[in-house]
Amino acid sequence: MKYSIAGLAGLAAFATAQGTWPSDLVGTWSTKSNKTLTGPGFFDPLNDELIEPSRTGISYSFTDDGYYESAYYRAIANPTSPDCPGGIMQWQHGKFVKNADGSLTLEPFKVDGRQLLSKPCDGKNAIYTRYNQTETFQKYEVLTDPYHNIPRLNLYQFDGSPVNPMYLAFSPPQMLPTSTLNPMQATASASATGKSNSKRGLDPEVPLGWKVELEKGSTQQVVQHINADRLWWLGLGMTGFGGLLYMGPRRLGIRL
Ligand SMILES: *[C@@H]1O[C@H](CO)[C@@H](O)[C@H](O)[C@H]1NC(C)=O
Ligand SMILES: *[C@@H]1O[C@H](CO)[C@@H](O)[C@H](O)[C@H]1NC(C)=O
């Protein structure tokens, strides 16, 4: 007990010296569709699976003691077949701090992050990998949205360009445990006992079998398999929507 209190005090002193954790950031924030949300509805660390939301979006959660979690689900334009966009899901969590110049630095637990990239018209497999990306936001603003009359978070990327506005969805935040999850270890020991395939290892490629799953009448919301039909419809709706790709290539270094 004594030890952990001393540890916390040490952490707080460090934070005061290096930056702060502003209380107005605390909560779970989500873009307008409010369907992509951090927490167990987006990433299942026990089964090591990303769970597809019903709508694309972005969500960030922040605690008052320096932890964050982020969830992304974005469509990716497909220039060679515009009617068949790909999709990408990313999940990360870790520690954040507000720096003296007002910027935010988000440092993920590198082994925990996950990405699922699906380009259904370029091949039948979605690619599931580890993912880690430190993020810096030049500044942020929390204000009351004049139209919706709810708290709104404006984040600005390192170059000053705005991220789509996010609205407060939960306070306190809805998050997975803020300690490192490192589901790889659980997976490794499960397969070492030769017990089952239910705790899948982190295969680099996951068969894009969502249709089969649906036909079998699985009640599970399609997990780890991005729904190509849904993305197709989204692609139609997003024509000309300039914000669509703002995160894609820069964050991911993907070739379109
Ligand atoms: C973090 O990402 C970089 C760049 O993709 C990669 O080289 C590195 O291995 C990753 N680290 C972990 C622990 O996954
Ligand atoms: C967003 O969704 C959550 C969970 O369904 C709900 O509790 C919350 O009120 C919603 N927020 C907005 C702004 O619609």
Annotate the chain with DSSP letters as a single string.
-HHHHHHHHHHHHHHHHH-B--GGG-EEEE-TT----SSTTTEETTTTEEB--SS-EEEEEE-TTSEEEEEEEEEE--SSSTTS-EEEEEEEEEEEEE-TTS-EEEEE-TTT-EEEEE-GGG-SEEEEEE----EEEEEEEEEE-TTT-SEEEEEEETTSPBPPPEEEEESS---S-SS---HHHHHHHHHHTT--SSS----SEEE--HHHHHHTT--S--BSS--HHHHHHHHHHTTT-GGGGSSHHHHH----
Testing ligand 2's pocket by substitution, the residue of 33, 34, 175 carrying the most ligand atoms inside 8 A of its CB is 34
Q: Whose CA is nearest to atom 7 of ligand 2?
A: 169
Tell me, using a 6 A CB cutoff, whether residue 97 lines ligand 2. Answer: no
Q: Is the pLDDT of residue 44 over 50?
A: yes
In this prediction the pTM is 0.71
Q: Is the CB of 166 under 6 A from ligand 2?
A: no
- Res 197 pLDDT > 70: no
Percentage of residues in the chain with pLDDT exceeding 90? 48
Q: What are phi and psi of 190, to 5 degrees?
A: -65, -40
Cα distances from 109 to residues 82, 188, 204, in angstroms, run: 35, 19, 20
Is 130:113 a contact under the CB 8 Å cutoff?
Answer: yes
| Positive or negative torsion for Cα 238, 239, 241, 243 | positive
pLDDT classification of 226: cutoffs 50, 70, 90: low
Residue 66 reports pLDDT greater than 70: yes
pLDDT band at 18; cut points 50, 70, 90: low
Rounded to whole angstroms, the Cα distance separating 91 from 47 reads 14
> Do residues 85 and 234 lie in contact, with contact meaning Cβ atoms separated by under 8 Å?
yes
Tell me whether strands 166-170 and 135-144 are parallel, antiparallel or unpaired: unpaired
Q: What is the mean pLDDT of the chain?
A: 73
Look at residue 47 and tell me whether its pLDDT is greater than 50: yes
Confidence of residue 77 (pLDDT cuts 50, 70, 90): confident
Q: What is the pLDDT of residue 29?
A: 98
Q: Is the pLDDT of residue 160 over 50?
A: yes
Q: Which of 51-65, 170-184, 190-204 has the lowest mean pLDDT?
A: 190-204
Tell me the average pLDDT across 84-111: 94
Highest mean pLDDT: which range of 149-153, 180-184, 185-189, 230-234: 149-153
Here the tokens at position 235 are 């692609």
Atom of ligand 2 nearest to the CA of 150: 13
Report the alpha-carbon distance of residue 241 to residue 235 in Å, rounded: 10
Confidence of residue 119 (pLDDT cuts 50, 70, 90): confident
| Matching residue, tokens 């008052």 | 64
Higher-confidence residue of 103 and 196: namely: 103
Choose the most confident range, by mean pLDDT, from 105-119, 181-195, 202-216.
Answer: 105-119
Residue 143 has a pLDDT of 97
Residue with the smallest CA separation from ligand 1 atom 11 is: 110
Distance CA 241, CA 252 (A): 20
Q: Give the nearest ligand 2 atom to 168 CA.
A: 13
Give nearest CA residue, ligand 1 atom 2. Answer: 132
